[in-house]
Structure 1
């Protein structure tokens, strides 16, 4: 007992008050099982507490024991215990280190850009027409994908339509409203931006003093005026009276019309956003036409090459037959 106490005092004085360090450095014989290891360590800590009068060593050991795992290693036919490796949440003993991303220098970036420019120039000035066409086609398809991604940002989720009873108009009323709308000079333009919040706002401002309003769509693709009429009727809750051949729509506000508090619907684009969307749509349309043109050009070139090879083979066969 005296020997254990003196041994504990020397260990405790050398390792200060942190006894867990000594537990981690303790070498256990390989023939002891895990239960025997814990019992032996616990008995030694109890004896040291009694001999030195220091309290809290067993408590510290219990904390260490709860957070410590014992691993059995069998390397080169030798059984060894590894004490003190606490597994992480994923179950692995050691945490993998993250590799740091090496930043490229300014000179390296310029060299890389120069390499890609030279590579593109080589393809553009290639003597083979197929290489030139394929390079242009690949570049145009990349631009088309980029434009589609840009246009997805301008998609506004439509709010659920409010339930309302549309007014039923007789043929006489429709004829009267049609003549009235044609005679009046008040109109709302729908230009290249298409239907956005400002168009609906202008319609409500016109309906403040007039029953009807003309919506002039210019420029307008064939058949697009009907899509505009349907969209404006949904947003403004107006009634379409007539659609003219010159892309003019006549709207009627209704008998029980009440001007809404928010005249510009929230599920519409602003003026600047609508213009930006129009530019992307125009670019996408031209890019799609250019891709179709390049595909047709590549198809014609491959057909001519196949025809030339076939004619060459036929000429060789004829020459062999003659000889």
Structure 2
């Protein structure tokens, strides 16, 4: 009984809930503080405030993006079919003539893309995957990811960011055409937006850091210049006082 009483006494007191008025006052105080920093006559204060704010946003975006990381389940080893050069040439020619394609847009690779590939493979041996917009080199990442998810074979990657996939000789349409370890259409769009925001924020941070560095250099140069001017003035005054020729002429 005594032990339980001691434990109960050792517990910290519960935090008091803030009233709505107190919360509003606190927010007003934070806003006023931020306003003062933004309107500060010192440029360094303004730049540092923006930099801190941008870094906080970057951390928040990274934390948000962790929710969209899909854990990869251990899959059976996929053995891609080895095609001869003649077969590849034939499949390229036939694939280029066909008009069936799957677009990969700003959402990137998600479950719907793989589903559409399987739907095209139901009637066609090949399918084109058109990646727009696509950063330089990103098309190869898409090709690798889609090969893993669809179990297809990459025949060709064109300069216009188009990947041609072959379904395989012994292709069997899977029961679940959209892999479970992929994002939905909505979540893929949300992830894209967060990634875009993170990219812009990181660029903004780099810009602010450069601005701060340039400002510090400018201040250092200005101080050195002022010191040089002051030393020069003092030396000139000393020479005028100590020069005997000037004193004799004045007499």
2:115 is the alignment partner of 1:206: no
Name the CA shift for 1:97/1:214 in 2 (closer, same or farther; >3 Å): closer
Name the CA shift for 1:239/1:307 in 2 (closer, same or farther; >3 Å): same
Name the CA shift for 1:264/1:107 in 2 (closer, same or farther; >3 Å): same
Once superposed, which parts of structure 1, at least 4 consecutive aligned residues long, lie more than 4 Å away?
Answer: 91-94
Deviation readout 1:195-237 (Å, 9 max, x if unpaired): 0000000000000000000000000000000000000000000
Q: 1:300 aligns with which of 214, 225, 242?
A: 214
For 2:102 and 2:145, the matched residues in 1 are separated by 15
In the superposition, the TM-score normalised over structure 2's length comes to 0.91
Q: Structure 1: where are the runs of 5+ without partners?
A: 1-85
Greater helix share, structure number: 2
Question: Between Structure 1 and Structure 2, how many residues are aligned?
Answer: 237
Match of 1:63 in 2: none
For 2:194 and 2:129, the matched residues in 1 are separated by 25
* 1:97 CA drift (Å): 4.5
CA RMSD in angstroms, aligned pairs only: 1.4
In the superposition, the TM-score normalised over structure 1's length comes to 0.71
Conserved? CA contact 1:88–1:95, under 8 Å: no
* 1:94 CA drift (Å): 6.8
Q: 1:320 aligns with which of 234, 239, 243?
A: 234
2:134 is the alignment partner of 1:220: yes
Match of 1:234 in 2: 148
2:165 is the alignment partner of 1:251: yes
For 2:124 and 2:78, the matched residues in 1 are separated by 22
For 1:315 and 1:165, the matched residues in 2 are separated by 77
Three-state SS of the structure 2 residue aligned to 1:135 is helix
For 1:252 and 1:94, the matched residues in 2 are separated by 69
Three-state SS of the structure 2 residue aligned to 1:104 is coil
2:10 is the alignment partner of 1:102: no
Match of 1:187 in 2: 101
Name the CA shift for 1:255/1:87 in 2 (closer, same or farther; >3 Å): same
* 1:102 CA drift (Å): 1.1
* 1:95 CA drift (Å): 3.7
* 1:158 CA drift (Å): 0.9
Bigger radius of gyration among the two = 1
Q: Which has the higher contact order (CA 8 A, sep 6+)?
A: 2
Deviation readout 1:27-55 (Å, 9 max, x if unpaired): xxxxxxxxxxxxxxxxxxxxxxxxxxxxx
2:179 is the alignment partner of 1:265: yes
Q: 1:160 aligns with which of 74, 77, 84?
A: 74
Name the CA shift for 1:212/1:94 in 2 (closer, same or farther; >3 Å): closer
